[in-house]
Amino acid sequence: MAYSKAHLLDKDYALIADIAKALSHPARIKILYVLLEKPRCVCGDIVDELPLSQSTVSQHLKELKRVGLIDGEIEGPRTCYCINGAKLKQAQEKFMQLFQRLLKCC
């Protein structure tokens, strides 16, 4: 029986891979752009900007929230989403380190 050995890798590698995975869908990129234009949005506002169903958008929001790129604050029956600047900055630093090291070989 095969089992994962991912836990043996450096935590930074896992972080970069997790964020890259979350950013790997165009709808999630669009959601981040929507949140840049409207810093605090409820799911319905985001749905209006995408050609996707509410349930699909909710799943994409859930993935972005899981990795910490966005925060969701419950306001009554709605959840208001915004970009998590600290996590975004951390992701930027990790990706910059990776690409700087990769570019040294070229």
Each residue's pLDDT tens digit, 87-103 = 999 999 999 999 999 99
Q: What is the pTM (predicted TM-score) of this model? A: 0.86
Give the side-chain half-sphere CA count within 13 A for 90.
14
In the structure, what pLDDT confidence band is assigned to residue 10 with cuts at 50, 70 and 90? confident
Residue pair 32/83 in contact (Cβ under 8 Å)? The answer is: yes
The letter for the amino acid at 63 is E
Chosen CATH of 10-104 out of 3.30.70.3190, 1.10.10.10, 1.20.120.1810, 3.40.47.10: 1.10.10.10
Closest CA to 78 of 32, 38, 28, 43: 43
